[in-house]
Amino acid sequence: MNFIQTLKIALRALRTNKMRSFLTMLGIIIGIAAVIAMMAVGTGASYVISQQIASIGSNIILVLPGSTTSGGMRTGSGGAQTLSSDDARAIMAECPSVAYAAGTVRTAGQIVSGNMNWSSVVMGGTPELFEIREWPVVSGRPISQEDENGALKVCLLGQTVAENLFGSADPVGNIIRIKKIPFTVIGILDRKGQSPQGQDQDDAVFVPLRTAQRNLVRSQRSGIVSAIIVKAENGEVIDTAESEIKALLNQRHRISNAKEPDFSTRNLSEILAVAEQSSKAMSLLLGAVASISLIVGGIGIMNIMLVSVTERTREIGIRMAIGAKKNDILLQFMTEAVLLTMLGGLIGIALGAGGATAVSRMLEWPTMISFQSIAIAFVFSGAVGIFFGFYPAKKAAGLNPIDALRYE
């Protein structure tokens, strides 16, 4: 008996009980739709996370004041003022695996332009900062070493700040006031988007580090920075760079016991790993939920197939009397079950993809439907059919022809 014939018989059987077939498929449809939608949301989310992490810049190490305990809890970081501009310069000059290092300070403040005002983050940073973060200006010019050396009152605006203060007009050359101090806008930075923590990175104003240290932040000593951001030469030496920095700072800060430093370092690839891990855990959870719904759907299929075998005992008897072999009957019922689940799978894929697209449209939530997830869903739905269809099909094939023929 050929495959097309088997398929035809199965299709006819399913058509005979349209409503029942549909209801049976519903379990699979829901399961598969859930898998597809969840995978779409999950992949979309992890894509965005990796995008955001990439937006910080690659091969980056953060050096923060204050120490971490061995458990990873940061202690005394808030008020600690243990890092200086000199540390940043030394790291860049003396650590061979480091490409750039930039000291930064950070404050928040009211920014005024004419009658417009906007409160935003103000970052002070040396010119290297923009190399490290791979963040070019789109109009005007970047902060130069002369701006830094002279502690000039110039600033770069992030896109969000520029839009809120100047609308569509070009801000370059205008004067704005940061904490009442006038600054000249020298350039506009490219758009960066959200950070992994969900902050708008474009909602910031950048000034030279020394300018910020003198005019915008208060500290016990001059030259204090709130963080040093470092770029390693490349991805392979990032760990080397980190230990070089630690060694250098321990020496500079005269720390005898290396277990109690007055600074801590954070490697962004670690953050990336954490993000990846949590997105993996998420996928696993979603996968578990989806598998449960598929199993429930599969049990539904098995149940209906058993009913179907009983109902069609006489038909099975007729087929056997006429020359159907055990395998023909087995295959017939298996085909029916697999057809049910695969059809359900296809509908589920369509629904899941449609649902994911609708979600991404309405909630502006990024979703990505990968070919892989569709293939997995399709194969899985077929597998559910084979697994749960086997027992009923086996039962049908094992019937005795005479008993089956006599069955009322």
Partner 1 sequence: MSIVISLTDIRRVFIMGDQQFEALKGVSFDIAPGEFVAIMGASGSGKSTCMNILGCLDLPTSGRYLLDGGDVGGMSTDQLADIRNKKLGFVFQGFNLLARTPAIENVELPLVYAGLHSKERRQQALIAMEQVGLSGKENNHPSQLSGGQQQRVAIARALVNNPAVILADEPTGNLDSSTTEEIMGLFTALNRQGITIIMVTHEHDVAAYAGRQITFKDGRIISDLQTSQACQAGQAGQKA
Q: Which residues bind partner 1 (CB under 8 A)?
A: 1-2, 5, 12, 16, 314-315, 317-328, 401-402, 405
Which of 1, 386 has the CB closer to partner 1?
Answer: 1
CB of 344 to partner 1, least distance (A): 23
Which CB sits closer to partner 1, 95 or 320?
320
Residue whose CB is less far from partner 1, 87 or 315: 315
Report in angstroms how near the CB of residue 352 gets to partner 1 at its nearest: 34
For the bound state, the minimum distance from the C-beta of residue 319 to partner 1, rounded and expressed in Å, comes to 7
Task: State how far the Cα of 34 lies from the Cα of 356, in Å rounded to an integer.
Answer: 10
Nearer to partner 1, 214 or 406 (CB): 406
Amino acid (one-letter) located at 351: L
Phi, psi of 58 (to 5 degrees): -95, 155
The alpha-helical segments, DSSP class H, found in 312-325 are 313-322
**Shortest Å distance, C-beta 20 to partner 1:** 14
Element (H, E) at 206: strand 204-208
- Give per-residue burial for 78-88: e unless 16+ CB within 10 Å, then b: eebebbbbebb
Whether residue 296 contacts residue 31, with contact meaning beta carbons closer than 8 Å, is answered with yes
Measured from the CB atom, the residue of 119 and 327 that comes closer to partner 1 is 327
Q: Which are the contacts of 143, defined by CB distance < 8 A and separation ≥ 6? A: 125, 127, 130, 154, 156, 186, 187, 206, 207, 208
E strands present in 41-132: 60-65, 67-68, 74-75, 98-113, 116-125
Question: Residue 129, Cβ neighbours under 10 Å: how many?
Answer: 25
Of residues 111 and 399, the one with the C-beta less far from partner 1: 399
- Give min distance, CB of 380 to partner 1, in A: 31
CB of 329 to partner 1, least distance (A): 10
The two tokens of residue 260 are 């109690």
Burial 52-72, CB ≥16 within 10 A → b, else e: bbebbbbbbbbbbbbbbeeee
Of the pair 7, 289, the CB lying nearest partner 1 is at: 7
How far is C-alpha 394 from the geometric centre of its chain's CA atoms? 45
In the complex, minimum distance from the CB of residue 48 to partner 1, in angstroms, rounded to a whole number: 53
**Nearer to partner 1 (CB atom), residue 353 or residue 396:** 396
3-state helix, strand, coil in the chain (%, to 5): 55, 20, 25
> Token match 């988007």: residue?
193
CB of residue 13 to partner 1, shortest distance in Å: 9
